[in-house]
């Protein structure tokens, strides 16, 4: 009898646990390295869906060109850039054809003309170097 009561109690709390869980996008953003001032640290976070869902994150060295890979190529709809770097987003795999630059920014939904066009990313210590 005590075992069945314990099992029933467990099943009664499962719905509360499930509904209290953060969304995938919120959970992904919490996994990002955030300094005490609330700024992202030295990473680029790029996502195939809006609101930071279905994402990949990479820590780029200055001057390194990063091809986002077949899975993310021409599919990026949201992104976040670490506060310590300026990153350029390109429409070609080899960091050619710059589309826009971002420093310490989060964009949960790219504007129409940028949606699904990014193929590579490169970061530098300042935007003047890109």
Average pLDDT over residues 50-74: 93
The band of 125, judged by pLDDT with boundaries at 50, 70 and 90, is confident
pTM here is 0.70
Structure confidence by residue, pLDDT tens digits, 78-101: 999 987 789 999 999 999 999 999
Domain ranges of the chain: 23-129
The two structure tokens encoding residue 21: 């869980």
What's the residue count for the chain? 130
Distance CA 125, CA 67 (A): 19
CA distance 47 to 65: 18
Which stretches within 21-128 are classed as H helix?
A: 24-30
Neighbours of 110 (CB within 10 A): 20
What is the tens place of the pLDDT at every residue in 21-48?
A: 334 444 445 444 444 444 445 689 999 9
> What single-letter DSSP state applies at residue 85?
-
Strand partners, 42: none
At the fourth CATH level, which superfamily is domain 23-129?
Answer: Crystallins (2.60.20.10)
């Amino acid at each position: 009898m005590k075992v069945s009561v314990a099992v029933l109690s467990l099943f009664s709390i499962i719905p509360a646990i499930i509904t209290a869980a953060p969304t995938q996008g919120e959970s992904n953003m919490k996994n990002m390295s955030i300094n005490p001032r609330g700024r992202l640290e030295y990473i680029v976070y790029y996502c195939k869906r809006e609101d930071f869902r279905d994402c990949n994150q990479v820590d780029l060295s200055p001057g390194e060109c990063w091809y986002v890979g077949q899975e993310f190529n021409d599919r990026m709809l949201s992104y976040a850039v670490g506060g310590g770097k300026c990153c350029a987003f390109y429409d070609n795999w080899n960091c050619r054809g710059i589309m826009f630059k971002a420093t310490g920014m989060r964009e949960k939904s790219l504007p129409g003309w940028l949606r699904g066009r990014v193929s590579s990313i490169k970061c530098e210590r300042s935007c003047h170097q890109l």
